[in-house]
Amino acid sequence: MNYKKTYIPKEGYSPICEIGKCSLKMLEFGMIELHSGNECSYSSEEKEAVFIILGGRCTVKFKNGPTYENIGTRRSVFEGKATAVYIPRHQKVTVRTDWSVKIVVNATPVDEDTEPQLITPDMIKMKTLGQKPFERETTFIVDGSTNSKYLTIGEAYVTPGNWAGFPPHKHDTDAMPGEGILEEIYYFLFDPNQGFALQKMYTKDGSIDEVYTVKQDDLVEFPKGYHTTVGAPGYNTYFLWSMAGKHQGFFRSNDPDHEWVSAVENLLKKNK
């Protein structure tokens, strides 16, 4: 199976990974792209959803709820933290822009009612994870502190030429509190935009063993298995990471063959 997909820019809403039509059973991914004066509608149906504004500004109006006017503070993902909108199940929203806007849409089935929420840049935490040469800045946009029940979403900015998510890790086994079942998608952008990265994913039994060259607007689904990323030197690698599962957070286990690298990282942190 090919776990890599590419978003081809298109006006309106473009579903890219749909439950039952891709490798994932809990997580959906789509894109909204609009130019000045245009609008589109989105229905959450039996799912909770999150809009992550990658760049631009828009107004999000709930049919039976609030209106968030002219939201979005960055022109691209490389110019600050995101603005996001959390959408409960059974909601219909309209997105309109007087400028232009590009929005990632993540969704997962949910079994309870919640409340809409506007997530602004000042609410978003950023941390430096890893050490050179596996260092990245990571923001946490949606987690247990938001109204979402099953989604965990953030953005990673990989230092040029560095790895991210090393040692390789997985979250496909119910072994809480150490590891939970969380499906995931990475969506990639680059600066300059002709950049690329390599995305590795594999299982110990060899049923999955893939390395993808990922470029602008590519995404990779992770239904199971270990995964790790390395960016090309000279290019800023960005990926939006979206997870869906009963346990919100980083409940994962590292590949035991490479776990010793974590011990080195912890020692370096201790000695700083």
Q: What distance in Å separates the CA atoms of residue 127 and residue 118, rounded to the nearest whole number?
A: 21
pLDDT tens-place string over residues 148-170: 999 999 999 999 999 998 999 99
Angle of CA points 125, 131, 136, to nearest 5°:
40
pLDDT at res. 263: 73
Domain that holds residue 24: 8-265
Q: What is the pLDDT of residue 238?
A: 98
Tell me the pLDDT tens digit for each residue of 219-237: 999 999 999 999 999 999 9
Q: Residue 29: CB partners within 8 Å, gap ≥ 6?
A: 16, 17, 104, 105, 106, 185, 187, 219, 242
Residue 256 domain-assigned (yes or no): yes
Which amino acid, 230?
A: V
* 3, part of any domain: no
Is residue 270 assigned to a domain?
Answer: no
Q: Examine residue 156 and state whether it is found in any structural domain, yes or no.
A: yes
Do the domain assignments include residue 2? no
Burial of 72 (0-12, 13-18, 19+ CB in 10 A): buried
pTM assigned to the model: 0.95
Looking at the domain assignment, is residue 271 inside a domain? no
Task: Categorize the per-residue pLDDT at 269 as very low, low, confident or very high, splitting at 50, 70 and 90.
Answer: low
* 195 falls within a domain: yes
Share of the chain above pLDDT 70, in %: 97
Check which CATH number belongs to the domain holding 54 and give it.
2.60.120.10
> Structural domain tally of the chain?
1
CA–CA–CA angle 176, 182, 188 (5° rounding): 140
217 within domain boundaries = yes
> CA 81 → CA 9, 20, 53, 190, 215, distances in Å?
22, 32, 10, 16, 22
Query: What's phi and psi for 256, nearest 5 deg?
Result: -60, -25
Tell me: the pLDDT tens digits for 17-44? 999 999 999 999 999 999 999 999 999 9
